[in-house]
Structure 1
Amino acid sequence: MAAFEVPGRIEGGLRVVPHPAVMLVLLVGTGRAGVDDGAGRRLRRSLVAGPGFGSGGAVRAWGEDVTCLQVRLSPVAARAVLGASPADLAGGMVALDDLWGRDAARIGAQLAETPTWEGRFALAEALVARRVRAARAAVDPEVAWAWERIAGSRGLVRVEQVAADVGWSRRRLWSRFQAQLGLPPKRAATLVRFDHAVHRLAAGDGTARVAADGGYFDQSHLHRDVMAFAGVTPATVAGEPFLTIDDVAWPASGRLHTGPAAPRRN
């Protein structure tokens, strides 16, 4: 979990860099905020976005005096929390009230009435836990294991090996994985690998070293992947403010708070 306070206006919009998680954004307070999906759709409400949201580099977040809380959910857990499969998001975004109805507005009001970020984190954590306990639907254990294997390897494991390890055919793993998590396993591995690579670039590591350590054939291969996912070159993506939310702040003029239960990155 992370919370953002951005005084003033986000000039030009902030590029949303794809991430291998389902993103739940809860708006707090009366500031103006929204997300443009690059295809003519704009949401000004709390929203949910699927894994890889922002691919191509055209998605922008914008607003003025923005206060929001972001929860990143593993695709494996997202179905239980949201009451909908990540596959229903198809890599795009939906308004939270389309999924939760009046509960979305009620939760937003509770967050606004809570005076501290510690209290808001606790409220969000309790919300997630409550929805998980009440959920009936779950992904296949083989799919969950496959996701953890891909994420744990930083996207470097071969899909054929994952299928063999769970005792499924490649076709069966591909079908179940995409139906339940919203993207095929090879795409998931590519996205996880990209995410690790661009965070290393943002941390200041050189392109050649990132390409070699990240399983890319060469720097040109890394360049193509970064362009496909982020719409910019590796040199440019290294300075994207959206990538700093895990460890530093977003954006530089704003303030970030990380939740006490935030998982450690792989």
Structure 2
Amino acid sequence: MPIIDPNAPGAEQPLLAHLLELRTRFLNALYGVLVLLLPMLFFARDIYAFFAAPLTKLLPEGASMIATEVASPFLIPFKLVAILSIVLAMPWILYQVWGFVAPGLYKHERKLIAPLLASSTLLFYAGVAFAYYITLPAVFHFMIGVAPAGVQVATDIGKYLDFILTIFIAFGVAFETPVAVVLLVWTGFVSVAQLKEARGYVLVGIFVVAAIITPPDVASQVLVAVPSYLLFELGILWAAWIGKQRARDPDPA
């Protein structure tokens, strides 16, 4: 009986080897998060002040944010830097995920998924940056402008963090639209021609989803929906290009 080398390409690994590899990858990802988290803890207050700037810059003179709970001044900045360390470590985390699943993929799958992982990370960061520099100032300017006379805007730091995290996640996910479109076409769920025919329905659906995942104001809904639809069109172009590449250079795997 021939002896099979477990390290040879395509060889099936025992379950224990998979579990050990998964543990190693998980610990590597955790170490990457801790490397970012520990230094940022010393600057947690400054980091929170940076993320609070879109609101604090618009507050009337003498007004400030408030903390309604005793431990909020410590816990809220710590929560922010903990989440931020995970987000910043995402390329390293995805690299560990890729290192674990790549050996089990076909060649044509590796050629597609690696760029998708990289582009999805960049698109998520782009969505967060768009939300911070464009959406939040517009939303807060609108909110403060419509406040009734005699009402002073004094937001709790915990409520503010929850609000901006919701906005960041909404925009980060919305900016993943091209990746979602490519995956739908690549898996054969829909075709590029079907997506082009469904543009009108997609536009309405995007506005409905934007109304659900964003705070109840028109400004944030529009600022989510419009870039999402433009990214949907970009996804169609990307999927069509990949389809042409696959037709030109088919992979027998």
TM-score (norm 2): 0.26
TM-score (norm 1): 0.26
Relative to its length, the structure with more strand (as a share) is 1
Relative to its length, the structure with more helix (as a share) is 2
